Amino acid sequence: MNSVRLVKAVREDAELLHGLQRDAFMPLYERYRDDDTSPALESTEIVARKIADSDFFIIY
């Protein structure tokens, strides 16, 4: 049986989450070119800061 796990993200997960965020939002960025607000353009450091400042979870 497959199981689903919900794991709280830590700073070390920032690179993984950054890649997922870019993949998820890049098609919208390419369509709308929202340079000031697109999550696709955020740096790994910004993602790491968001992880530190709030609750991010990874679904496995």
How far, in Å, are 24, 40, 53, 59 from residue 27 at the CA level?
7, 9, 27, 22
By the 8 A CB rule, do 14 and 58 touch? no
pLDDT, tens digit, 9 for 90 and up, residues 1-60: 789 999 999 999 999 999 999 999 999 999 999 999 999 999 999 999 999 999 999 999
**Whole-number pLDDT of residue 50:** 97
The token pair that represents 11 in the structure block: 């700073």
Buried b (16+ CB within 10 A) or exposed e, 23-37: eebeeebeeeeeeee
| pTM of this structure | 0.87
